[in-house]
Amino acid sequence: MGSAEGAPEAPTPAARWDITTPARPGRLRGISQAGFRDRTTSPLDLPVIPYPAVTLAIDLGDGLIVDDARDRQQSGSVVFGLSPGAVRARGENIDCLQIRLSPVIAYTVLGTSLEPGGEFIPLDALWGRGATRLLEQLRAAASWDERFAIAEAALARRHEAGRPVDPEVAHAWRQMVRSLGRVRVEPLATEVGWSRKRLWARFRSQIGLTPKRAAQLIRFDHAAHRLAAGQSLGAVAAESGYADQSHLHRDVMTFTGVTPTAISTAPWLAVDDVAWAATAPEHACTL
């Protein structure tokens, strides 16, 4: 049915995309891939919802543009940090490979963490000519399966050559994910035999967020997916460990700048059960 002005209605988020995922799990844990191809010719303009993983958006069609509230704009392949803030993805005829990396893996394969305020960064700023070669190989590939294999091989090489995070930091991250963000820093520091100050500093330098902020992000992500699944604000607040609905509302506004009602229909979340169905959202990046 058309709109009141006679123009066709915009397609639903799930209907606008052809989404392809790998036929089998990859060799590296903590990495998920999905291919997106826009079925429509209508312009894309959607907010990027924070997620507890670093996301590589590899533009295969020269159609992707990313911008933020500070009027920074980047076209082509980008890396989104853990808490990208008010970032939007725009463009037409999008053909894109998305890769989600656990921050424990991301630190090793990217060679750095993305600090708060570094909402996104061009992939070639991190990998230089390596990013150009990877993009050429991906565009020349004959199928999505070939693309997935090429990307995984590139990540595996960088993972093998890169510097791993401290085991204590990796343990703290895993505990946060397992508890859905409901864990305090002091007991984690005690578990790994570090002072709270040392864990705070090392975690922030390697993951890109403080432990407290990382736990808040994981809890927010769990709540956002429950809202997108149609659960009520009160039920989600209680299930996710918030003090009340107002607490959940404040967290959603802090991470996204929009209300829980807007989150419940966010296009970025609407395709998650298709693109990332191999792992539940709250356990997708456990490594």
Question: Looking at residue 4, what is its pLDDT?
Answer: 40
Question: Looking at residue 68, what is its pLDDT?
Answer: 81
From-to residues of CATH 2.60.120.10 in the chain: 13-161
In the chain, the DSSP E strands lie at 17-20, 31-38, 44-47, 54-59, 64-68, 73-75, 78-80, 87-91, 95-101, 120-122
Question: Options 1.10.540.10, 3.40.50.300, 3.40.50.2000, 1.10.10.60; which CATH number does 167-283 get?
Answer: 1.10.10.60
Q: pLDDT (tens digit, 9 = 90+) per residue, 14-56?
A: 678 899 999 888 888 899 999 999 988 888 888 888 899 999 9
Q: pLDDT (tens digit, 9 = 90+) per residue, 116-157?
A: 555 788 999 999 999 999 999 999 999 999 999 999 999 999
Choose among 98, 77, 41: nearest CA to 268: 98
Percentage with pLDDT > 90 across the chain: 59
Q: pLDDT (tens digit, 9 = 90+) per residue, 154-211?
A: 999 999 999 999 999 999 999 999 999 999 999 999 999 999 999 999 999 999 999 9
For the cut 50, the answer to whether the pLDDT of residue 238 exceeds it is yes
Mean pLDDT over all residues of the chain? Answer: 87
Distance CA 192, CA 189 (A): 5
Confidence of residue 279 (pLDDT cuts 50, 70, 90): low
Compute CA distances 171 → 117, 175, 178, 193, 252, whole Å: 25, 6, 11, 12, 27
Contacts of 254 (CB under 8 A, 6+ apart): none
pTM for this prediction: 0.89
Percentage with pLDDT > 70 across the chain: 90
Question: Options 1.10.3720.10, 2.60.120.10, 3.30.70.20, 3.40.50.720; which CATH number does 13-161 get?
Answer: 2.60.120.10
